[in-house]
A and B are shown apart, each in its own frame.
Chain A
């Protein structure tokens, strides 16, 4: 069977793109709030104001003339990340993990490849020119702290930084997954670039098995390690932070992307007003049922922490799903 039937998907509560766009994004995410999440510099600002943890910002390059300042910004930094403020889908992100031993202006990327400062400057000026921005308009390049990720996912990541995506519906965390970079995804934690997504049991923070290119997988394709059964540290804090993302942005249908730093704990990398639907495949369950449940229990007076607790109680991984794992 190449195709599922619409009826079966519907009875499993699977959310489709059209429904997501028409019923959730257009209804719950007013356009005027988009800049808050589309511009990562702004996201960082509002998250900091709300007391959320974010990676340190080293500098912003907003104009072509400032591109030459790059050397000064990273003078005393060994590792850093360059990302477009308005990028989408992880495009245009450059992770520098170190420098050449003899030449300081030679940079080692997360893939292990060395590039010259000239190439990085070209990348930055492309970014500023808008090559990676959603609309093709001029953009800013952010240079920020490079996360030293927690060893929890070391076995199931190929280079890059694994991150945790939580979909938050009206302030309630509804579903979560861990995105694990692979060789195919070039170290990026983006599912449609070939990263592995693993569902997460909302109650315990334990990973379920993963999905690669829309197919269910048990092992990481590069390392061979089992994807399921890993315990995400500080799960409580992660859920509460993502629930708070709603208070900060006002977006009713929100994706919060977090990474776990070895030293700093969970950090918010970015937020997304149009989170994808692959999270459903990673969790082996549809979003629509959970969304309907949140609509039932919705209480505007609850705090972020209370909403996170409610989500933990309401959405444990289903028994059927657990049985399929082992």
Chain B
């Protein structure tokens, strides 16, 4: 009954801990390992123009839906301009306005995105496009071309492929030649294709964006063809006809409208620069979760002030130390002073580093013990004697700090973080054991405490573990379950296998 209750409790805690952990890890994207960085691209567009005499209004298409990417943040830098973001027919538009400006103006718009496969094209299915009004002789050329292509294709995708093959033919037929006569730029070329597709009642549009490769001082917009087959948007390379999207293609805007529109200015020029950097995955998960309005982030330790975070990154490792303590005591069977004294010593080691910590601890305890034995002759009552030992410990720390500072050893200064009350208690306990059971027992238990402290220090200092616990504090529930389970461990301790060796005969 008791056993079942324990298993049930442990199972419940484990399931709770692990399910929150998996949710945060898999769904919210909190990184499982430390310093996990995600590449983040920052695309900066700089709009320059000559200001005219009157008021100025600048409109810039900015990314709306970005399949394959998620926006981390965006901002604009513009001196004196009023800034707003609106939804236009072609998606989001950034708008700057100013009553009066002099000389050459530069406006910056910056957006940071990172890759996220879960973001897909969530556009609504577009209506069938109206038949474009085309004048003769182009109209005949379009009609003939559409009829030809339709004969040689089965569906929207194959229609598009066939059309693209024909318009890109090095020796095109006269109809294509006529249609493409005015298409100098890539964008014009795609625009004509969308017009032809519209004549075939196929929803199509031009998208423009950047393949994000790395750092680019001046990036050029690439025009791509998007065709809707009734279910999804398909992407076509307008030059080769392949149904594909360039790797890491960030869609800036779609439609035929021009990128920028400046009222009251001239000599408009837009330049793009792309910067790639690595950003801590935690920060990305945080901002993403906050954007989605999930409350998980409200309970994340990363939302606390930095100083508090530093405290908790240490405090959260104490359960690990406690687990080590349980293992050392109930599974290995090491003698140690006090229940959690070694864990506190291990915490102190974090400040001093291991070697120095062990040395300082040994020096303090040894000096404290000898002074304790001197005090013993004075026959003090228990509490005054404990207090006297405590004061001596504080003085010893002061002395060690000063001496090591004189010698130019900065580590000696961190001795002050040693838990002096704990050390005073250790000295007292050790001296009593020393008197009662002899030096061997006292030193063995003291050494045992040190061994447990070092083991706890090693595990509490594992940076990946620290990161894991700090990012997923719910894992402490799993540790709690482990501790509860080991509370019902009734097998032998390792030390007992030695102790009862005489009983192992047949």
Q: Which residues of A contact B (CB under 8 A)?
A: 1-6, 8-10, 12, 14, 16-19, 22-23, 64, 91-92, 118, 122, 125-126, 129-132, 192-193, 211, 214-216, 277, 280-281, 284-286
Q: Apart from A2-B501, A16-B496, A17-B496, what are 6 other A-B pairs with CB-CB below 8 Å?
A: A8-B504, A12-B503, A19-B491, A118-B379, A214-B500, A284-B503
Check A16–B504 contact: CB distance below 8 A. Answer: no
B488 partner residues in chain A, CB cutoff 8 A: 22
Contact of B500 among A4, A125, A126 (CB under 8 A): A4
A92 partner residues in chain B, CB cutoff 8 A: 436
Check B437–A18 contact: CB distance below 8 A. Answer: no
A283: shortest Cβ distance to chain B, in Å? 9
Q: What would be 27 A-B contacts, judged by CB atoms less than 8 Å apart? A: A1-B501, A2-B498, A3-B498, A4-B497, A4-B503, A5-B497, A8-B504, A9-B500, A12-B504, A14-B492, A14-B503, A16-B491, A16-B496, A18-B330, A18-B491, A19-B491, A22-B487, A125-B381, A214-B500, A214-B502, A216-B502, A277-B500, A280-B500, A281-B499, A281-B500, A281-B503, A284-B502
Known pairs A16-B493, A18-B330; A9 contacts B432 (CB<8 A): no
A60: shortest Cβ distance to chain B, in Å? 19
- How far does the alpha carbon of A132 sit from the alpha carbon of B433 in the complex, in Å? 10
- How far does the alpha carbon of A129 sit from the alpha carbon of B432 in the complex, in Å? 13
Known pairs A5-B497, A92-B436; A281 contacts B502 (CB<8 A): yes
B333 partner residues in chain A, CB cutoff 8 A: 17
Check A6–B502 contact: CB distance below 8 A. Answer: no
B432 partner residues in chain A, CB cutoff 8 A: 91, 131-132
B457: shortest Cβ distance to chain A, in Å? 25
Q: Which 8 A-B pairs have the closest CB atoms?
A: A129-B382, A4-B504, A19-B490, A16-B492, A122-B379, A3-B497, A8-B504, A91-B436
Asked if B383 CB lies within 8 Å of chain A CBs, one says yes
Contact of A16 among B383, B490, B502 (CB under 8 A): B490
Asked if B22 CB lies within 8 Å of chain A CBs, one says no
A76: shortest Cβ distance to chain B, in Å? 27
A277 partner residues in chain B, CB cutoff 8 A: 496, 500
Contact of B497 among A6, A22, A23 (CB under 8 A): A6
A281 partner residues in chain B, CB cutoff 8 A: 499-500, 502-503
A1 partner residues in chain B, CB cutoff 8 A: 501
Contact of A192 among B330, B437, B504 (CB under 8 A): B437
- How far does the alpha carbon of A23 sit from the alpha carbon of B502 in the complex, in Å? 24
Check A9–B502 contact: CB distance below 8 A. Answer: no
Known pairs A4-B501, A216-B502, A285-B503; A9 contacts B383 (CB<8 A): no
Return the chain A residue nearest B378 by Cβ.
Answer: A122
B469-506 at interface with A (beta carbon < 8 Å)? 487-494, 496-505
Max chain B CB contacts within 10 Å: which of A17, A280, A281? Answer: A17
A125 partner residues in chain B, CB cutoff 8 A: 379, 381
Check B381–A215 contact: CB distance below 8 A. Answer: no
Max chain A CB contacts within 10 Å: which of B436, B487, B493? Answer: B436
Check B382–A130 contact: CB distance below 8 A. Answer: yes
Contact of A22 among B438, B490, B498 (CB under 8 A): B490
B496 partner residues in chain A, CB cutoff 8 A: 9, 14, 16-17, 277
- How far does the alpha carbon of A4 sit from the alpha carbon of B493 in the complex, in Å? 11
Check B381–A64 contact: CB distance below 8 A. Answer: yes
- How far does the alpha carbon of A192 sit from the alpha carbon of B436 in the complex, in Å? 11
- Per-residue CB contact flags for chain B residues 431-450 toward chain A (1 = under 8 Å, else 0) read 01000111001000000000
B357: shortest Cβ distance to chain A, in Å? 27
Contact of A131 among B382, B499, B503 (CB under 8 A): B382
A41: shortest Cβ distance to chain B, in Å? 20
- How far does the alpha carbon of A58 sit from the alpha carbon of B379 in the complex, in Å? 25
- How far does the alpha carbon of A14 sit from the alpha carbon of B496 in the complex, in Å? 10
Contact of A9 among B382, B438, B487, B492 (CB under 8 A): B492
A64 partner residues in chain B, CB cutoff 8 A: 381
Check B499–A214 contact: CB distance below 8 A. Answer: yes
Return the chain B residue nearest A131 by Cβ.
Answer: B382
Return the chain B residue nearest A93 by Cβ.
Answer: B436
B242: shortest Cβ distance to chain A, in Å? 66
- How far does the alpha carbon of A14 sit from the alpha carbon of B441 in the complex, in Å? 25
Check B504–A129 contact: CB distance below 8 A. Answer: no
